Every structure is written in structure tokens, then in C-alpha cells.
Amino acid sequence: MDIGVGKQQLVEIAKALSKEVRLLILDEPTAALNDDDSAHLLELIKQLRTQGITSIIISHKLNEIEAIADSVTILRDGKTIETLDMHEGAVSEDRIIRGMVGRDLESRYPDRTPHIGEELLRIEDWTVHHPVDRSRKVVDGANLVVHAGEIVGIAGLMGAGRTELAMSVFGKSYGTNISGRLFKRGQEIKANSVSQAVEHGIAYATEDRKRYGLNLIDDIKRNISGSALGKLANWGFVNGARETQVANEYRRSMNIKAPTVTAITGKLSGGNQQKVVLSKWMFANPDVLILDEPTRGIDVGAKYEIYTIINRLADQGKGVIVISSELPELLGICDRIYTLSEGHITANVPRDEATAEHLMQFMTTFRETTTS
């Protein structure tokens, strides 16, 4: 399809609502939606309740559950832990989290002291046209800088051009008539294909891991090794023993919950699938990782683990770009945050100046600012 994951989600929801249903089951309905679209959907669900339609919502966005649910059933490791009546007493997000992870989570985001080094990647005057409507610019003259050891966020409403920017930088895997310049440690580079981008140390973890990020019918081992098979090959043949060893190392270090690395990836939970995606690119050892919605559809416990991994990558001197629809997530883990609006970068906000209101202001404006 030529529309993004978020718009696909809206179409899927519209299709379900077009039928005369009495029970509506929504699995992560707002995972790919921005705050405004999520609020509209939740309001619609409230209206359906007044019409006698029952809705079951599966979600990891606890603030939405707290706002709309009459009762909450918590599952952990495939078992029902408890059911909470949201109308009896104050059921807080922290109370729900305790049931989900089996313990109190003192902080949603791990502590980190950044050690930011030299400029690692610079994107100058980057412009991308739509692959079908070639007259339309989806990214227009974007400028962006990432330093070694830095976590940089990209915030924007649906359709702002976040994923389009990331994919076009990653080997021009999206868009047409792409123009602009890429610099790696001050030297201009060409990344006209995915293989060239990987050779230059740029990796992109897609927002749609099931469709583009993983081979769900293959095992963990081959998914991890797939991005850099050359590191495991001798005379054109993959060293199977070394491939298994590498996969086991990542299974342990990334805490991938699977009995062996021969487990089929499609049978893992969303959080463990995401860890496999990250392991794949970590094995390729890039200098810059672009992570597009890295915690979408993942529970709070697994999110914390992903944040810890992102911090670890930055501490190793890598530059990390995080694209997220959740502003609290960007505010919790990023050193700087760029905002996008209709393909334009409208602000470059340091961590100590960033608030959700401040970012939203720039996400809904069309005044382009300079990059520093």
C-alpha cells in the first residue's frame, strides 16, 4: 500500500466500524496514531458504548486505558494475573504496571549521563518527492545533525514526513527525485542503495517490523545474521557454528525470551521481535541507527529494556535517531528533538528546553528554522 502504517490503521478501524457489530475487538488501535487521532478514536469508542456496543481494547498505552476502560484485565506470560474495576478506588498507571511486570517500576526511563562527541552524520537540504504523485514534496529542504553518543528524536504528526525522511536517507528506499547531501564525519557520502547505506554505517529499523523488519517464518538465528552475512562467510559459505554462536550471544545480551535461537521469530512477543530487529542491526555494527517507532506495541517492561539498549548504543559512541509518536518517550530518552511539520523541520529543541506543549507548537507550525 502507498499509505503509511498509521493511515492503514485508520482504514482498518473504519472497515470494522462499517459493519453492524455488537462486540468490537481492537488490538493496539492507537499504536500508529498521533495524540489527536488517538483522542478522536477514543471519543468514538465512548459514543459506541452509549449505543450498546461493547469494545475490548488491547493496548500498551496505559493513559488511554485509564481514561476509557470500565475494567482492566492484566495478562503476563500468557496467564491472567488480575482484573481491576476502574470505578472502584483509584487504579493508577503505576498499579497497572505492577501487575504487568510483577514489580514496581520506579522510573519509566533509565537514567543516563550523555557523553556527546564529534559530529557523526549531517543531512543537508534533503528533499524527497512522493513515489506516486511526483509533484508533491514529502520532505522539503530538511537539515539534521547527529553527534557521536547522542540520541536525537524526531517528532511530528501523522503525515509530517518522519518515516519518509528516514527511509530516503537509508539508501533512498522511499521516494523519488531525492536531492540533498549526506556527510559522515565531515566527508560527503553517497547512499543510493540500502547496501551502500549499510556500508557507510547507517542502519534503519523500520516502524513495521512484521512486514519489513523480520522474516517471521524463519528462526531468530537467521534473522540476526541476515544484515551482515559477509562477517560469517568463508569462501562464499556461511559458518553455521559461528552464526549460532553470534545469535546466542545476542539472545543473552538482549534478553530475548526464547528457548533457543532456532525458535521461529513470528512466534515471539512484540517486544522480543523488536529485540531481534535491534540485534540484527547491532550485529552489522553501524555508526548511526535510525529507530522508527522502536517501542510500538510493546509493554512497559519491554519498553524499559529497549530504552536501556538505546542508551547502551549511545554510550558506545553511536548516533541514534529515534522517531516516535509518543512525546513522553522522546522527552524521556532524547538529548535533542527535531520537529517536523508537512515535510519541513520546524525546530531543533535541546532536552532541557523541551516540553510536550513546546514540541506540539512546532509540530503544527510551518515556519522552518535553521539547524545548529
Please spell the DSSP secondary structure of 155-218, one letter per residue.
Answer: EE-TTSSHHHHHHHHTTT-S-EEEEEEEEETTEEE---SHHHHHHTTEEEE-S-IIIII--TTS
Closest CA to 345 of 167, 175, 127: 127
CA distance 193 to 196: 5
The pLDDT of residue 106 is 62
The pLDDT of residue 43 is 86
Q: How many CB atoms lie within 10 A of CB 318?
A: 23
238 pLDDT more than 70: yes
143 pLDDT more than 90: yes
For residue 6, name the pLDDT band (cuts at 50, 70, 90): low
The pLDDT of residue 64 is 84
Side chain identity at residue 54, one-letter code: T
Closest CA to 219 of 262, 260, 183: 262
278 pLDDT more than 50: yes
Average pLDDT over residues 28-34: 75
Give me the percent of the chain exceeding a pLDDT of 90: 53
Average pLDDT over residues 132-153: 95
371 pLDDT more than 50: no
Residue 5 has φ and ψ, to the nearest 5°, of: -60, -40
| Of 28-32, 42-46, 349-353, 363-367, highest mean pLDDT | 349-353
Cell of 252: 543473552
Asked if 278 and 293 count as a contact pair (C-beta separation under 8 A), the reply is no
Average pLDDT over residues 355-368: 80
Residues 6+ apart with CB under 8 A from 290: 166, 169, 170, 202, 203, 204, 205, 321, 323
| Residue 201 CA neighbour count, 13 Å, CB half | 16
Cell of 328: 513522553
Average pLDDT over residues 259-264: 94
367 pLDDT more than 70: no
314 pLDDT more than 80: yes
For residue 273, name the pLDDT band (cuts at 50, 70, 90): very high
Minimum mean pLDDT among 64-78, 153-167, 211-225, 242-256: which range?
64-78
For 94-134, write each residue's pLDDT tens digit: 788 777 777 655 678 899 999 999 999 999 999 999 999 88
What the chain holds in terms of domains, given with CATH numbers, is: 5-101 (3.40.50.300), 119-363 (3.40.50.300)
The pLDDT of residue 21 is 83
